Amino acid sequence: KVSEAALTGESSAVDKINHAFEGKLIIADQHNMVFSGTVVAEGKGRFFVTAIGENTEIGKIARLVKDTKEVRTPLQKKLDLFSRKLGIMVLGLSGVLIVVGVLRDHSFSEMFITAVAVAVSAIPEGLVVGVTVILAIGMQRILKRGSLVRKLVAAETLGSTNVICVDKTGTITIGEMRVARVITENHDLDMSKKDLSSKEELNQAYEIKKMNMIAVYCSDALVGSAEEKEQTKEEELREQILIGSPTERALLLSAIDGQFTEEDLHEERSRMDEIQFNSKKKFMATLNAWTKKQNIVYLKGAPEKILAMCSRYQNGKGTLVLSEKKRKELIKLYEKLSSQGLRLLAGAYKGVLSSKTSFDELPDYNEDAVFVGFWGIKDPIRPEAEQTILETKKAGIHTIIITGDNKHTAMAIAKELGLAPKLDQVIDGADLASISDTKLEQLVKSVKVFSRATPEDKLRIVSALQKNGDVVAMTGDGVNDAPALARADIGVALGSGTDVAKDTSDLIVLDDNFSTIVAAVRQGRVIFDNIKKMILYLLSDSFSEIIIIMIGILLGWPLVLLPAQILWINLVTDGFPHLALTQEPEEPEIMTEKPVKRDASIIDFEGKFLVVFISVVTALSTLGLYWFILKTTGDIDRARTVAFATLGIDSLLYVFSVRSVRHSIFEVSPFRNKWLVAAVIGGFAIQVCGIYIPFFQNVLRTVALGAKEWFIIISVCLWVIGLIEIVKHYFIAQRRVAD
């Protein structure tokens, strides 16, 4: 028997035989081959070497990892495109500004300095710092939720993820075998029910008690001592189980759940002899003391083996003859349960004379036994997994299960999770080889489960999804998962996985839990959301200045804002608010919206419209005040100071509007982000310093303003916010109608 976990990802050891097979088989079906990197779990043998180095299966995986090109994240692509377009536009506007200014009799040197100042302000220099801060904060928040981000830009990519390819073992399931059902002639006990008291009557049934006895006494699972703390008896017993194979541990836990008490566990049933389980016999037998006149043989193992040993079956406290018809019914039941993804074991017993104390004295120990029932064993799904799948559906995320398990087990898990796949939505690894890449690109749009998938299969699946424009997160824990992890937009390694998987991943889920992955996706969306808010704020501010300067020059006015004033607003006054936006908490709707498409712009239509609207309204309002003050006072420095104050204060106030495009400014508490409140207060104080402190007055060429002028400035700023909220209300109403 060989453990092929390194290649297939499945921990169960595989029986090896020396028969030849015809045709091309996947690794999981090559039972006559042993592979480099796998571990012999039982037995010994001599093998003929057919491949070495890179030609071995694990060598092929290493080559796949090496040849797999790292995919640039959607954020990197979007920011690059955004930067190129913005740079070209700003360069063009700066050139136009110089030409128009010179034609309007402004000096070249004055217009050149102004154009440089406008260019510096138009390019959101705070974006790089802001994005870095947002990503770093997002990484910290993700870590608090149980995941470690290995690459900074990967934190945002989580928010764009619209497909999660997940291996079930240990991620969707708990990673430990448990008895799901105990089935006897008269009872079908569902061990997954939480309310054990509702099963009390069944637990006291003779047949169930017999199954519990077989589970305990025909077992090598041991009971040790638990830690000293306040617990129920059942909790103590569950924690006391220290030693045993996964299957026997599951059976013993089942007995405890079935009201098997501590006294029962320690009842004098001394084991006199045993026949250990092995892959050839496929059963285990123990000879135990019972009464003064009788000893008892307990049997457990593969259903077909145990049924072949039985001539009677348990019916209540009595037994009945196991007819051929009844035997076929039990075999049919066994096959039905197996098709539901359960691993079946059967239990039986046989009374023998007390004088028989070893199996050497019992050549017929495996004949005329009494069949008691079946245990249905599986790796159960995590309690929160089904709810997490529902959450991903609401968020527009498609979940695909890719597993090394067989088709029936994979389908059963998918149905239990609420994915309810149809037969054509499940593809077995053996069938993938005959499917072309073009056809696979179409199939992955609807397929929900891939069973018995090889490393090459996983890589093909991820590549097909990406060609369809999907942003793919791939989970894995073994060497076999490394190529797909490297290829995926987000490679998610499990904390309990191999170092190879972790080294090729972007995110490590420390608790191996699927819900933790979804929590990281949630935080990824918050990251992208905050980046959009910051860009919206920075562009609105920058474009306002461009429009003000351009219109002022076209109208033949003296410069509305001086270069120093432009730089002051961008670098000093607005520096704190845009950084404070990096601290914005998530909005309630964040996981009910569809993911951002791979090729979508970093700012959507709504955001672009708001940038233009805010820029135009702010610019026109500022120009209006500038013209009014200039006409009424004739003081150019006072007019510029009013424009300078209006533009600065306006941007400090409308930051509360752009912090949420989903809600009105009146629906969001200003103190939800205390950093933003502090930043606005600080920005206001800095703006006042630029107007009233003599040193800054000389640098910025500002003058002190009176109360009347401040009243007008604040009124205009509130007017601008009111207009922004009207536009937001329209978009919010449209979104609600669409939903």
Coil vs helix vs strand at 677: helix
- Give me the helices (H) in 395-471, please: 407-416, 429-432, 437-443, 455-467
Cα separation, 636 vs 702, in Å, equals 10
* Contact (Cβ atoms closer than 8 angstroms) between residue 352 and residue 332: no
Q: Which class for 650: exposed (0-12), middle (13-18), buried (19 or more C-beta within 10 A)?
A: buried
Q: Maximum Cα–Cα distance for the chain, whole Å?
A: 122
Cα separation, 117 vs 308, in Å, equals 90
Residues with Cβ within 8 Å of residue 640, at least 6 apart in sequence: 559, 560, 561, 562, 565, 626, 701, 702
Q: Which class for 136: exposed (0-12), middle (13-18), buried (19 or more C-beta within 10 A)?
A: middle
What helix, strand, coil percent values describe the chain, rounded to 5?
A: 55, 15, 30
Q: What is the residue-wise DSSP string for 301-350?
A: E-HHHHHHHEEEEEETTEEEE--HHHHHHHHHHHHHHHHTTPEEEEEEEE
Coil vs helix vs strand at 291: coil
Cα separation, 679 vs 322, in Å, equals 82
Which run of H or E residues covers position 35? none
Q: For residue 59, count other CB atoms closer than 10 A to its CB.
A: 15
Coil vs helix vs strand at 26: coil
Beta-sheet strands, E only, within 441-499: 449-451, 472-476, 490-494
Q: What are the tokens at 499?
A: 């170092």
Cα separation, 643 vs 641, in Å, equals 5
Q: Which class for 693: exposed (0-12), middle (13-18), buried (19 or more C-beta within 10 A)?
A: middle
Amino acid identity of 588? P
Give the Å distances, CA to CA, from 727 to 237, 615, 665.
Answer: 64, 13, 12
Burial state string for 573-594 with b = 16 or more CB within 10 A and e = fewer than 16? bbbbbbbbbbbbeebeebbebe
The secondary structure of 47-85, three-state, reads: CCCCCCHHHCHHHHHHHHHHHCCCCCCHHHHHHHHHHHH
Which of 167, 379, 477, 541 is labelled catalytic?
167
* Contact (Cβ atoms closer than 8 angstroms) between residue 240 and residue 255: no
Angle between the 246-257 and 206-217 helix axes, to the nearest 10 degrees?
Answer: 140
- Which pairing describes strands 449-451 and 2-3: parallel, antiparallel, or unpaired? unpaired
Which run of H or E residues covers position 510? none
Cα separation, 649 vs 713, in Å, equals 8
Amino acid identity of 247? T
- Which pairing describes strands 294-301 and 318-321: parallel, antiparallel, or unpaired? unpaired
Beta-sheet strands, E only, within 65-173: 147-149, 163-166
Half-sphere exposure of 103 (CA within 13 A, CB side): 10
**Phi and psi angles of residue 433, each rounded to the nearest 5 degrees, phi first:** -60, -30
Annotation says 167 is catalytic: yes
Q: What are the tokens at 284?
A: 């285990």
Beta-sheet strands, E only, within 354-394: 369-378
Active site positions, annotated? 167
